[in-house]
A and B are shown apart, each in its own frame.
Chain A
Amino acid sequence: MKNCKQIIKNMPDFLAGNLDQIEQEQFQQHLNGCPKCKSEVESLSGIWLKLETTPEEKPDPASKIKFKNMLEVYKQNMKKADHPFSFKNYFFSIFETWRLKRPAFQFGGSVILLVIGLTIGYLLHPVISNATRITQLREEITNMQQVVSLTLLKQESASDRLQGVIYGSKIAGENLDVLSELINTLNNDPNVNVRLAAVNALYLYRNNPQIKQGLINSLSFQEAPVVQIALVDLLSEIKEEKALYALKELFKRNHLNPEVKKRVESWINQLL
Protein backbone atom coordinates (compact mmCIF):
# COMPACT_ATOMS: atom_id res chain seq x y z
CA MET A 1 0.00 0.00 0.00
CA LYS A 2 1.47 3.35 -1.12
CA ASN A 3 1.21 6.59 0.79
CA CYS A 4 0.58 10.09 -0.67
CA LYS A 5 4.30 10.92 -0.79
CA GLN A 6 5.02 7.80 -2.81
CA ILE A 7 2.16 8.66 -5.17
CA ILE A 8 3.70 12.04 -5.90
CA LYS A 9 7.07 10.43 -6.38
CA ASN A 10 5.60 7.90 -8.84
CA MET A 11 3.47 10.48 -10.65
CA PRO A 12 5.93 11.11 -13.57
CA ASP A 13 6.21 7.36 -14.23
CA PHE A 14 2.43 6.96 -13.94
CA LEU A 15 1.86 9.74 -16.49
CA ALA A 16 4.44 8.30 -18.86
CA GLY A 17 3.03 4.79 -18.46
CA ASN A 18 6.24 3.42 -16.99
CA LEU A 19 4.73 1.61 -13.99
CA ASP A 20 4.62 -2.16 -14.11
CA GLN A 21 1.42 -4.03 -13.37
CA ILE A 22 2.00 -4.41 -9.62
CA GLU A 23 2.95 -0.74 -9.19
CA GLN A 24 -0.02 0.27 -11.30
CA GLU A 25 -2.38 -1.72 -9.07
CA GLN A 26 -0.86 -0.29 -5.87
CA PHE A 27 -1.16 3.19 -7.34
CA GLN A 28 -4.81 2.70 -8.24
CA GLN A 29 -5.52 1.19 -4.85
CA HIS A 30 -4.23 4.33 -3.14
CA LEU A 31 -6.23 6.63 -5.39
CA ASN A 32 -9.44 4.72 -4.57
CA GLY A 33 -8.93 5.51 -0.91
CA CYS A 34 -7.45 9.03 -1.26
CA PRO A 35 -9.74 11.68 -2.93
CA LYS A 36 -6.99 14.34 -2.69
CA CYS A 37 -4.46 12.26 -4.63
CA LYS A 38 -7.18 11.11 -7.03
CA SER A 39 -8.11 14.71 -7.85
CA GLU A 40 -4.45 15.64 -8.31
CA VAL A 41 -3.76 12.70 -10.62
CA GLU A 42 -6.86 13.41 -12.69
CA SER A 43 -6.06 17.08 -13.22
CA LEU A 44 -2.42 16.40 -14.06
CA SER A 45 -3.36 13.54 -16.40
CA GLY A 46 -5.79 15.90 -18.16
CA ILE A 47 -3.05 18.41 -18.88
CA TRP A 48 -0.64 15.61 -19.81
CA LEU A 49 -3.11 14.38 -22.42
CA LYS A 50 -3.74 17.88 -23.71
CA LEU A 51 -0.05 18.18 -24.54
CA GLU A 52 -0.32 15.06 -26.64
CA THR A 53 -3.07 16.53 -28.77
CA THR A 54 -0.99 19.41 -30.06
CA PRO A 55 -0.13 18.80 -33.73
CA GLU A 56 3.36 18.82 -35.16
CA GLU A 57 4.22 21.88 -37.22
CA LYS A 58 6.16 21.71 -40.49
CA PRO A 59 9.07 24.06 -41.19
CA ASP A 60 9.36 26.18 -44.31
CA PRO A 61 10.34 23.92 -47.28
CA ALA A 62 13.14 26.39 -47.97
CA SER A 63 14.94 25.13 -44.88
CA LYS A 64 15.88 21.98 -46.77
CA ILE A 65 17.44 24.03 -49.57
CA LYS A 66 19.24 26.06 -46.93
CA PHE A 67 20.59 22.86 -45.42
CA LYS A 68 21.77 21.57 -48.82
CA ASN A 69 23.62 24.83 -49.43
CA MET A 70 25.20 24.70 -46.00
CA LEU A 71 26.33 21.11 -46.59
CA GLU A 72 27.80 22.02 -49.97
CA VAL A 73 29.77 24.90 -48.48
CA TYR A 74 30.99 22.62 -45.70
CA LYS A 75 32.14 20.00 -48.21
CA GLN A 76 34.05 22.60 -50.21
CA ASN A 77 35.73 23.88 -47.04
CA MET A 78 36.62 20.31 -46.15
CA LYS A 79 38.35 19.85 -49.49
CA LYS A 80 40.28 23.09 -49.01
CA ALA A 81 41.26 22.12 -45.47
CA ASP A 82 42.35 18.64 -46.55
CA HIS A 83 44.25 19.82 -49.60
CA PRO A 84 45.24 23.46 -49.16
CA PHE A 85 47.05 24.59 -52.32
CA SER A 86 50.67 25.40 -51.85
CA PHE A 87 53.74 25.09 -54.04
CA LYS A 88 55.17 22.76 -51.42
CA ASN A 89 52.20 20.39 -51.67
CA TYR A 90 52.20 20.73 -55.43
CA PHE A 91 55.87 19.79 -55.56
CA PHE A 92 55.38 16.81 -53.27
CA SER A 93 52.36 15.62 -55.24
CA ILE A 94 54.51 15.57 -58.40
CA PHE A 95 57.30 13.89 -56.47
CA GLU A 96 54.82 11.31 -55.18
CA THR A 97 53.71 10.54 -58.72
CA TRP A 98 57.21 9.97 -59.99
CA ARG A 99 58.91 8.49 -56.97
CA LEU A 100 60.11 4.90 -57.10
CA LYS A 101 58.02 2.72 -54.83
CA ARG A 102 60.42 -0.18 -54.11
CA PRO A 103 63.38 0.44 -51.76
CA ALA A 104 65.80 -1.35 -54.12
CA PHE A 105 64.84 1.00 -56.96
CA GLN A 106 65.03 3.96 -54.61
CA PHE A 107 68.61 3.00 -53.67
CA GLY A 108 69.57 2.46 -57.31
CA GLY A 109 68.03 5.79 -58.27
CA SER A 110 69.95 7.56 -55.49
CA VAL A 111 73.28 6.08 -56.67
CA ILE A 112 72.61 7.11 -60.27
CA LEU A 113 71.73 10.65 -59.20
CA LEU A 114 74.89 10.83 -57.06
CA VAL A 115 77.11 9.73 -59.96
CA ILE A 116 75.44 12.20 -62.33
CA GLY A 117 75.90 14.98 -59.77
CA LEU A 118 79.57 14.21 -59.22
CA THR A 119 80.26 14.04 -62.97
CA ILE A 120 78.57 17.35 -63.65
CA GLY A 121 80.38 18.91 -60.70
CA TYR A 122 83.75 17.61 -61.93
CA LEU A 123 83.15 18.90 -65.45
CA LEU A 124 81.98 22.31 -64.35
CA HIS A 125 84.56 22.91 -61.65
CA PRO A 126 88.04 21.45 -62.31
CA VAL A 127 89.84 20.36 -59.17
CA ILE A 128 91.91 23.20 -57.78
CA SER A 129 94.31 22.57 -54.95
CA ASN A 130 94.55 24.90 -51.99
CA ALA A 131 98.15 25.80 -52.89
CA THR A 132 97.09 26.83 -56.36
CA ARG A 133 94.28 28.89 -54.96
CA ILE A 134 96.69 30.68 -52.61
CA THR A 135 99.08 31.36 -55.49
CA GLN A 136 96.21 32.74 -57.54
CA LEU A 137 95.17 34.96 -54.69
CA ARG A 138 98.73 36.19 -54.24
CA GLU A 139 98.96 37.00 -57.94
CA GLU A 140 95.71 38.90 -57.74
CA ILE A 141 96.93 40.89 -54.76
CA THR A 142 100.28 41.63 -56.47
CA ASN A 143 98.48 42.79 -59.60
CA MET A 144 96.29 45.01 -57.51
CA GLN A 145 99.29 46.49 -55.69
CA GLN A 146 101.03 47.07 -59.01
CA VAL A 147 98.03 48.91 -60.36
CA VAL A 148 97.90 51.10 -57.25
CA SER A 149 101.62 51.86 -57.45
CA LEU A 150 101.57 52.73 -61.17
CA THR A 151 98.49 54.85 -60.69
CA LEU A 152 100.11 56.80 -57.89
CA LEU A 153 103.25 57.42 -59.97
CA LYS A 154 101.13 59.05 -62.66
CA GLN A 155 99.35 61.44 -60.34
CA GLU A 156 99.78 65.21 -60.74
CA SER A 157 100.50 65.71 -57.08
CA ALA A 158 104.18 65.30 -56.17
CA SER A 159 103.30 63.90 -52.77
CA ASP A 160 101.13 61.23 -54.46
CA ARG A 161 104.01 60.34 -56.77
CA LEU A 162 106.30 60.23 -53.77
CA GLN A 163 103.89 57.78 -52.14
CA GLY A 164 103.88 55.81 -55.37
CA VAL A 165 107.68 55.56 -55.32
CA ILE A 166 107.74 54.41 -51.67
CA TYR A 167 104.91 51.93 -52.27
CA GLY A 168 106.52 50.71 -55.50
CA SER A 169 109.84 50.04 -53.80
CA LYS A 170 108.04 47.81 -51.30
CA ILE A 171 106.05 45.76 -53.74
CA ALA A 172 108.27 45.78 -56.84
CA GLY A 173 110.15 42.56 -56.09
CA GLU A 174 111.10 41.21 -59.49
CA ASN A 175 108.24 43.01 -61.17
CA LEU A 176 109.86 44.75 -64.10
CA ASP A 177 106.82 46.84 -64.87
CA VAL A 178 107.05 48.65 -61.53
CA LEU A 179 110.85 48.87 -61.67
CA SER A 180 110.75 50.29 -65.20
CA GLU A 181 108.26 52.84 -64.08
CA LEU A 182 110.56 53.79 -61.18
CA ILE A 183 113.44 54.27 -63.66
CA ASN A 184 111.12 56.35 -65.80
CA THR A 185 110.22 58.45 -62.75
CA LEU A 186 113.92 58.89 -61.94
CA ASN A 187 114.59 60.15 -65.46
CA ASN A 188 111.56 62.30 -66.09
CA ASP A 189 109.82 63.36 -62.89
CA PRO A 190 109.84 67.16 -62.60
CA ASN A 191 110.15 67.07 -58.81
CA VAL A 192 113.62 66.61 -57.42
CA ASN A 193 112.40 64.97 -54.21
CA VAL A 194 110.48 62.36 -56.19
CA ARG A 195 113.56 61.63 -58.32
CA LEU A 196 115.73 61.40 -55.20
CA ALA A 197 113.21 58.99 -53.65
CA ALA A 198 113.36 56.93 -56.85
CA VAL A 199 117.16 56.63 -56.52
CA ASN A 200 116.77 55.37 -52.96
CA ALA A 201 113.94 52.99 -54.01
CA LEU A 202 116.05 51.49 -56.79
CA TYR A 203 119.07 51.00 -54.55
CA LEU A 204 117.73 47.62 -53.44
CA TYR A 205 117.46 46.45 -57.06
CA ARG A 206 120.80 47.78 -58.28
CA ASN A 207 122.14 44.28 -59.02
CA ASN A 208 119.29 43.50 -61.43
CA PRO A 209 120.98 43.78 -64.89
CA GLN A 210 118.20 45.82 -66.42
CA ILE A 211 117.91 48.13 -63.44
CA LYS A 212 121.68 48.46 -63.30
CA GLN A 213 121.71 49.59 -66.92
CA GLY A 214 118.83 51.91 -66.30
CA LEU A 215 120.62 53.56 -63.38
CA ILE A 216 123.84 53.97 -65.40
CA ASN A 217 121.92 55.53 -68.29
CA SER A 218 119.98 57.77 -65.95
CA LEU A 219 123.09 59.59 -64.77
CA SER A 220 123.38 61.44 -68.05
CA PHE A 221 119.78 62.76 -67.70
CA GLN A 222 120.15 64.17 -64.19
CA GLU A 223 120.70 67.91 -63.70
CA ALA A 224 119.95 68.38 -60.00
CA PRO A 225 123.16 68.10 -57.96
CA VAL A 226 121.43 66.33 -55.05
CA VAL A 227 120.13 63.60 -57.37
CA GLN A 228 123.52 63.42 -59.17
CA ILE A 229 125.32 62.86 -55.84
CA ALA A 230 122.81 60.16 -54.76
CA LEU A 231 123.11 58.40 -58.12
CA VAL A 232 126.95 58.69 -58.15
CA ASP A 233 127.12 57.11 -54.70
CA LEU A 234 124.85 54.28 -55.92
CA LEU A 235 126.85 53.64 -59.11
CA SER A 236 130.13 53.66 -57.21
CA GLU A 237 128.85 50.60 -55.35
CA ILE A 238 128.19 48.73 -58.60
CA LYS A 239 131.87 48.80 -59.40
CA GLU A 240 131.54 47.94 -63.04
CA GLU A 241 133.15 49.26 -66.17
CA LYS A 242 129.93 50.76 -67.51
CA ALA A 243 129.32 52.56 -64.26
CA LEU A 244 132.88 53.94 -64.23
CA TYR A 245 132.43 55.15 -67.81
CA ALA A 246 129.22 56.93 -66.82
CA LEU A 247 130.98 58.62 -63.91
CA LYS A 248 133.81 59.73 -66.18
CA GLU A 249 131.29 61.17 -68.66
CA LEU A 250 129.63 63.13 -65.90
CA PHE A 251 132.98 64.40 -64.69
CA LYS A 252 133.66 65.83 -68.17
CA ARG A 253 130.35 67.71 -68.20
CA ASN A 254 130.61 71.51 -68.28
CA HIS A 255 129.13 73.59 -65.47
CA LEU A 256 128.97 70.57 -63.18
CA ASN A 257 128.33 71.46 -59.55
CA PRO A 258 131.75 71.63 -57.82
CA GLU A 259 130.54 69.43 -54.98
CA VAL A 260 129.34 66.82 -57.44
CA LYS A 261 132.56 67.05 -59.41
CA LYS A 262 134.57 66.56 -56.26
CA ARG A 263 132.46 63.50 -55.30
CA VAL A 264 132.74 61.96 -58.77
CA GLU A 265 136.49 62.50 -58.82
CA SER A 266 136.83 60.85 -55.46
CA TRP A 267 134.89 57.76 -56.60
CA ILE A 268 136.74 57.51 -59.90
CA ASN A 269 140.02 57.48 -58.08
CA GLN A 270 138.76 54.75 -55.73
CA LEU A 271 137.43 52.60 -58.54
CA LEU A 272 140.50 52.83 -60.77
Chain B
Amino acid sequence: MNSQEDNQLMLQIRSGNVEKLSILFDRYHISVYNFFLRLTGKKEISEDMVQDVFLRILKYRHTYRGDGKFSNWMFHIARNVQYDYFKKKQRGDFQTSEKLELVSDNPTPGEAVEQRQDIQLIHSALMKLSVKKREVLVLSRFQNKKYEEIAEILGCKVSTIKARVFRAIRDLRDIYFELSGDKSLKH
Protein backbone atom coordinates (compact mmCIF):
# COMPACT_ATOMS: atom_id res chain seq x y z
CA MET B 1 0.00 0.00 0.00
CA ASN B 2 1.23 3.43 -0.89
CA SER B 3 1.73 5.32 2.35
CA GLN B 4 2.03 8.65 0.50
CA GLU B 5 -1.36 8.11 -1.04
CA ASP B 6 -2.84 7.14 2.34
CA ASN B 7 -1.46 10.34 3.76
CA GLN B 8 -3.04 12.44 1.00
CA LEU B 9 -6.38 10.74 1.48
CA MET B 10 -6.29 11.32 5.22
CA LEU B 11 -5.41 14.98 4.71
CA GLN B 12 -8.46 15.30 2.47
CA ILE B 13 -10.57 13.64 5.15
CA ARG B 14 -9.15 16.09 7.68
CA SER B 15 -10.25 18.95 5.40
CA GLY B 16 -13.82 17.65 5.43
CA ASN B 17 -13.90 15.27 2.46
CA VAL B 18 -14.88 12.41 4.76
CA GLU B 19 -16.16 10.29 1.88
CA LYS B 20 -12.53 9.40 1.14
CA LEU B 21 -12.51 7.28 4.28
CA SER B 22 -14.26 4.57 2.26
CA ILE B 23 -11.03 4.03 0.34
CA LEU B 24 -8.98 3.70 3.51
CA PHE B 25 -11.62 1.41 4.99
CA ASP B 26 -11.38 -0.90 1.97
CA ARG B 27 -7.59 -0.94 2.32
CA TYR B 28 -7.27 -1.49 6.02
CA HIS B 29 -10.39 -2.92 7.60
CA ILE B 30 -9.28 -6.58 7.18
CA SER B 31 -5.90 -5.78 8.63
CA VAL B 32 -7.41 -3.95 11.61
CA TYR B 33 -9.95 -6.73 12.05
CA ASN B 34 -7.18 -9.34 12.31
CA PHE B 35 -5.29 -7.15 14.74
CA PHE B 36 -8.30 -7.15 17.05
CA LEU B 37 -9.16 -10.80 16.39
CA ARG B 38 -5.70 -11.89 17.50
CA LEU B 39 -5.89 -9.72 20.57
CA THR B 40 -9.45 -10.52 21.68
CA GLY B 41 -10.10 -13.91 20.06
CA LYS B 42 -13.67 -12.72 19.35
CA LYS B 43 -15.00 -12.12 15.83
CA GLU B 44 -18.07 -10.05 16.61
CA ILE B 45 -16.28 -7.84 19.11
CA SER B 46 -13.43 -7.38 16.62
CA GLU B 47 -15.88 -6.27 13.94
CA ASP B 48 -17.40 -3.72 16.31
CA MET B 49 -13.95 -2.49 17.24
CA VAL B 50 -13.12 -1.97 13.55
CA GLN B 51 -16.18 0.28 13.24
CA ASP B 52 -15.05 2.10 16.37
CA VAL B 53 -11.59 2.69 14.88
CA PHE B 54 -12.98 4.27 11.72
CA LEU B 55 -15.45 6.34 13.69
CA ARG B 56 -12.61 7.62 15.86
CA ILE B 57 -10.63 8.44 12.72
CA LEU B 58 -13.49 10.72 11.71
CA LYS B 59 -13.85 12.11 15.20
CA TYR B 60 -10.17 12.89 15.63
CA ARG B 61 -9.38 13.68 11.99
CA HIS B 62 -8.39 17.24 13.00
CA THR B 63 -5.52 15.83 15.06
CA TYR B 64 -3.92 14.12 12.06
CA ARG B 65 -0.68 15.93 11.30
CA GLY B 66 0.38 13.98 8.24
CA ASP B 67 4.02 13.80 9.31
CA GLY B 68 4.08 10.00 9.68
CA LYS B 69 2.55 6.91 8.15
CA PHE B 70 -1.24 6.88 8.18
CA SER B 71 -1.32 3.20 9.16
CA ASN B 72 0.77 3.92 12.27
CA TRP B 73 -1.64 6.67 13.31
CA MET B 74 -4.56 4.33 12.62
CA PHE B 75 -3.04 1.51 14.70
CA HIS B 76 -2.41 3.99 17.49
CA ILE B 77 -6.17 4.60 17.49
CA ALA B 78 -6.81 0.86 17.23
CA ARG B 79 -4.55 0.27 20.19
CA ASN B 80 -6.59 2.78 22.24
CA VAL B 81 -9.79 1.01 21.18
CA GLN B 82 -8.46 -2.34 22.37
CA TYR B 83 -7.16 -0.70 25.57
CA ASP B 84 -10.70 0.53 26.29
CA TYR B 85 -12.05 -2.94 25.50
CA PHE B 86 -9.78 -4.72 27.95
CA LYS B 87 -10.48 -2.08 30.59
CA LYS B 88 -14.22 -2.69 30.19
CA LYS B 89 -13.64 -6.44 30.17
CA GLN B 90 -11.81 -6.21 33.48
CA ARG B 91 -14.76 -4.28 34.90
CA GLY B 92 -17.02 -7.10 33.65
CA ASP B 93 -18.84 -4.97 31.05
CA PHE B 94 -18.50 -7.77 28.45
CA GLN B 95 -20.08 -11.16 28.89
CA THR B 96 -18.32 -13.34 26.33
CA SER B 97 -17.70 -17.01 26.07
CA GLU B 98 -14.17 -18.26 26.63
CA LYS B 99 -14.20 -20.04 23.27
CA LEU B 100 -11.66 -18.48 20.93
CA GLU B 101 -12.73 -17.65 17.39
CA LEU B 102 -9.30 -16.97 15.99
CA VAL B 103 -9.41 -19.41 13.09
CA SER B 104 -12.17 -21.22 11.28
CA ASP B 105 -12.94 -24.63 12.68
CA ASN B 106 -13.15 -26.15 9.23
CA PRO B 107 -9.83 -26.56 7.39
CA THR B 108 -9.57 -25.01 3.96
CA PRO B 109 -9.14 -27.41 0.99
CA GLY B 110 -5.60 -28.70 0.87
CA GLU B 111 -4.95 -27.83 4.49
CA ALA B 112 -3.99 -30.78 6.61
CA VAL B 113 -5.95 -31.40 9.79
CA GLU B 114 -2.71 -31.54 11.73
CA GLN B 115 -1.64 -28.15 10.41
CA ARG B 116 -4.98 -26.63 11.33
CA GLN B 117 -4.70 -28.01 14.84
CA ASP B 118 -1.21 -26.54 15.15
CA ILE B 119 -2.45 -23.10 14.11
CA GLN B 120 -5.22 -23.35 16.69
CA LEU B 121 -2.67 -24.33 19.30
CA ILE B 122 -0.41 -21.37 18.58
CA HIS B 123 -3.43 -19.07 18.78
CA SER B 124 -4.45 -20.55 22.08
CA ALA B 125 -0.93 -20.00 23.38
CA LEU B 126 -1.00 -16.44 22.08
CA MET B 127 -4.19 -15.74 23.99
CA LYS B 128 -2.54 -16.85 27.20
CA LEU B 129 0.05 -14.10 26.94
CA SER B 130 -0.53 -10.77 28.63
CA VAL B 131 -2.12 -8.14 26.34
CA LYS B 132 1.06 -6.07 26.34
CA LYS B 133 3.16 -8.98 25.11
CA ARG B 134 0.52 -10.17 22.71
CA GLU B 135 0.12 -6.79 21.00
CA VAL B 136 3.82 -6.45 20.17
CA LEU B 137 3.83 -9.89 18.57
CA VAL B 138 0.62 -9.19 16.68
CA LEU B 139 1.92 -5.87 15.37
CA SER B 140 5.27 -7.36 14.46
CA ARG B 141 4.29 -10.75 13.00
CA PHE B 142 0.80 -10.16 11.66
CA GLN B 143 0.89 -6.49 10.77
CA ASN B 144 4.53 -6.57 9.65
CA LYS B 145 5.35 -3.46 11.64
CA LYS B 146 8.96 -2.61 12.32
CA TYR B 147 10.01 -2.16 15.93
CA GLU B 148 10.38 1.60 15.36
CA GLU B 149 6.80 1.75 14.11
CA ILE B 150 5.52 -0.32 17.02
CA ALA B 151 7.35 2.06 19.37
CA GLU B 152 5.54 4.97 17.64
CA ILE B 153 2.16 3.25 17.84
CA LEU B 154 2.51 2.30 21.49
CA GLY B 155 4.40 5.42 22.52
CA CYS B 156 7.43 3.55 23.88
CA LYS B 157 11.17 3.46 23.26
CA VAL B 158 12.37 1.05 20.58
CA SER B 159 14.58 -0.72 23.16
CA THR B 160 11.50 -1.32 25.32
CA ILE B 161 9.67 -2.87 22.37
CA LYS B 162 12.59 -5.18 21.53
CA ALA B 163 12.86 -6.35 25.14
CA ARG B 164 9.12 -6.94 25.22
CA VAL B 165 9.22 -8.89 21.94
CA PHE B 166 11.92 -11.13 23.32
CA ARG B 167 10.03 -11.85 26.55
CA ALA B 168 6.80 -12.37 24.57
CA ILE B 169 8.21 -14.90 22.10
CA ARG B 170 9.96 -16.77 24.91
CA ASP B 171 6.76 -16.96 26.97
CA LEU B 172 4.79 -17.97 23.88
CA ARG B 173 7.17 -20.81 23.20
CA ASP B 174 6.87 -22.08 26.77
CA ILE B 175 3.08 -21.89 26.71
CA TYR B 176 2.92 -23.53 23.28
CA PHE B 177 5.01 -26.52 24.34
CA GLU B 178 3.12 -26.75 27.56
CA LEU B 179 -0.17 -26.92 25.68
CA SER B 180 1.13 -29.40 23.10
CA GLY B 181 2.87 -31.56 25.68
CA ASP B 182 5.93 -31.59 23.43
CA LYS B 183 8.89 -30.40 25.37
CA SER B 184 11.53 -31.77 23.06
CA LEU B 185 12.19 -28.41 21.47
CA LYS B 186 12.30 -26.64 24.79
CA HIS B 187 15.81 -26.31 26.15
Contacts of A59 on B, CB cut-off 8 Å? 29-30, 33, 43, 46-47, 50
How many A residues touch B, CB cutoff 8 Å?
A: 38
A46 part of interface (Cβ distance < 8 Å): yes
Contacts of B37 on A, CB cut-off 8 Å? 57
B74 part of interface (Cβ distance < 8 Å): no
Give chain A's interface secondary structure class.
Answer: helix
**Chain A CB within 10 Å, residue with most, of B54, B104, B186:** B54
Contact residue among B54, B104, B141 (Cβ-Cβ distance under 8 Å from A70): B54
Of all chain A residues, the one with the shortest Cβ separation from B37 is A57
Inter-chain contact A56/B30, CB cutoff 8 Å: yes
Among residues 137 to 157 in chain A, which have CB atoms less than 8 Å away from a CB atom of chain B? none
Inter-chain contact B18/A12, CB cutoff 8 Å: no
Interface digits, B25-55 against A, CB 8 Å rule (1 contact, 0 not)? 1100110011001000001001100110011
Given A55-B103, A70-B51, 7 more pairs with CB closer than 8 A: A16-B165, A44-B170, A48-B141, A50-B122, A57-B104, A59-B50, A67-B54
Smallest Cβ distance from A11 to chain B, in angstroms? 5
Would you give 16 A-B contacts (Cβ < 8 Å), ordered by A? Answer: A13-B147, A16-B140, A44-B173, A47-B172, A50-B176, A51-B137, A51-B141, A51-B172, A54-B102, A59-B30, A59-B43, A59-B47, A63-B29, A64-B26, A71-B21, A74-B18
Inter-chain contact A54/B169, CB cutoff 8 Å: no
Inter-chain contact A15/B169, CB cutoff 8 Å: yes
Of all chain A residues, the one with the shortest Cβ separation from B121 is A50
A54 to B103, CA, bound (A): 8
Among residues 12 to 26 in chain A, which have CB atoms less than 8 Å away from a CB atom of chain B? 12-13, 15-16, 18
Contacts of A40 on B, CB cut-off 8 Å? 187
A110 part of interface (Cβ distance < 8 Å): no
Inter-chain contact B119/A12, CB cutoff 8 Å: no
Inter-chain contact B102/A57, CB cutoff 8 Å: yes
Smallest Cβ distance from B151 to chain A, in angstroms? 12
